Structure 1
């Protein structure tokens, strides 16, 4: 028996948000209910126009209240993180949940339990009020640092240490607000240092959730998580998809998180970003690496070409989560709670 399509709102139309929007319009199990934008130039535009297509009859709004008032089953929440993830984003997501809308987030909420009981209680109250669920997803965080290691860990009899490493090349990333605004590339040292406390807090918040989700999946409890950071500067002027990078400005960074149990390092996650990997040869090549020390030990390395488009992958992971989140009981739903979320073949 045919079922009615799920009515879904796309919140945020950056690079990933536009990818989700294309999927919402292309896949018959969804009906686009609304679009929330931040750029004044997009307000009032048809959703189809925003992604370079013909009109579809849904106009974008810059007023969040219009989204809270909509009749919708789910909101795919995909803005850049707010002043601090957990502040503005927590308040907004809770309003959506309390208004009766399930939330699939591409901005954190991968494992909210890592944020402490007050954070969890706030989310759970909103879920109860609206009869809704919240799920954080994406690719990193959301998949490569959590789901993939847990799947491969099923081959082990004993784990002594788990190491995950990701290196991202932003040369082709189209969003200036992401590459310069969020990552800080192309900023002077002084400008970068001014944003570093915020960036450090954001990375700790986002990836500490990944660490604790991994630990929960492996049935251990972390005592603490350390965060180390380093950066590199451009040795020459160059231009990437999001704009110019001047010589001497920040062009790469690396974040290392270490989770300990009883003082012993158990989980390490390394995340490196490069404005253009062809011009920055430090550290390692773009791609993914996983090492599990134990019985048996294992190692997996995937080069840059293991994934043709990370932005599209993040959007796909969110889209494939929507139906399961809408069907789940009210509350926080992590990847440990939901079933396998496969993609689907194109319509013939």
Structure 2
């Protein structure tokens, strides 16, 4: 019987805590240590935070977290690549594979070529693989549409719609999409870069790379979804005239022709949630997931399921398209 893969969890915010039971439920994986920057968490039993991982004490230092000799670090901390690299560099240099929810890591070669090269060279030097993934980016708006193009003889354009009802999502996500803000507050936070879904540009570049396209430019437009009726949940209310969430459209162009369109809408009380991939080409083709895909649930699953593939991948900075196929791990 193959022994389980030993894991260190890095980052124990809401998503990290949701992930622990998913990792523990898999016989092929074993959480042996955990690390967080919050000094108040040091020494806490992981099970007291996450409801799983009993007997694993949260470490306050990297040395303590690495003492059990984990093979893989699951990193759920930041969205920005330049903030992530200082966090994972010592892990890579300790010859530990990385699976991270950092959106900008999912396909960073076009947007951050120099830093991507640095990460790639460090990973190869230490014989490990580094992967950024999740439900989006990582699957629904990049890997999935790229795979679906396999049934077409020619692709002229790709459109993906991810329409989510965020009513059941965790509080940080609802805050991130601007739910409850008035139009002025929403605009201020958008201008400050506080409201946006990180990853549409990376997804567009992923698709373009798989199709052999060279995009001349990309754009990312963020707008509020304003309600004209009261929308409420268990512990929140959004009054008419306020934002229930965000509508964000990423576009990729070859010349003046829009060849990639990625529509991301996440709002509390959103009707008709769905995920749809629409291809224009020979032939036209589309698939739809009615009801959509729950982001937190699916992200935890894909992170856990990607771990064996990252172990088996060639060393270096990887994407979901160049590691062994990810499937549901035992």
TM-score, with length taken from structure 1? 0.85
Cα distance in 2 for partners of 1:312, 1:143 equals 13
Q: What do the CA deviations read for 1:167-190 (whole angstroms, capped 9, x no partner)?
A: 1111011x222211x222223444
Q: What do the CA deviations read for 1:266-319 (whole angstroms, capped 9, x no partner)?
A: 1111101102215xxxxxx21111111111111222221x54x43221111111
Cα distance in 1 for partners of 2:233, 2:66 equals 37
Bigger mean CA deviation after superposition, 30-39 or 291-300: 30-39
**Alignment match, 2:112:** 116
How far apart are residue 14 of structure 1 and its match? 3.9
Q: 2:77 aligns with which of 71, 76, 79?
A: 79
The DSSP-based 3-state class of the residue aligned with 2:8 is strand
The DSSP-based 3-state class of the residue aligned with 2:92 is helix
Cα distance in 1 for partners of 2:124, 2:112 equals 19
How far apart are residue 32 of structure 1 and its match? 0.9
Q: 1:73 to 1:202 in 2, by over 3 A?
A: farther
Bigger mean CA deviation after superposition, 67-76 or 254-263: 67-76
Cα distance in 2 for partners of 1:201, 1:337 equals 31
Instruction: Tell whether 2:205 aligns with 1:206.
Output: no
**Alignment match, 1:170:** 166
Instruction: Tell whether 2:63 aligns with 1:52.
Output: no
How far apart are residue 326 of structure 1 and its match? 1.7
How far apart are residue 107 of structure 1 and its match? 1.8
Gaps in structure 2 of 5+ consecutive residues: none
Cα distance in 1 for partners of 2:20, 2:144 equals 26
The DSSP-based 3-state class of the residue aligned with 1:4 is coil
1:68–1:95 CA contact under 8 A, matched in 2 = no
**Alignment match, 2:140:** 144
Q: 1:197 to 1:73 in 2, by over 3 A?
A: farther
2:141–2:203 CA contact under 8 A, matched in 1 = yes
Alpha-carbon RMSD: 2.5
Q: 1:253 aligns with which of 246, 249, 254?
A: 246
Bigger mean CA deviation after superposition, 255-264 or 28-37: 28-37
How far apart are residue 246 of structure 1 and its match? 4.7
Cα distance in 2 for partners of 1:96, 1:201 equals 30
TM-score, with length taken from structure 2? 0.89
Cα distance in 2 for partners of 1:87, 1:104 equals 16
Q: 1:192 to 1:66 in 2, by over 3 A?
A: farther
2:100–2:133 CA contact under 8 A, matched in 1 = yes
Instruction: Tell whether 2:293 aligns with 1:300.
Output: no
Gaps in structure 1 of 5+ consecutive residues: 279-284
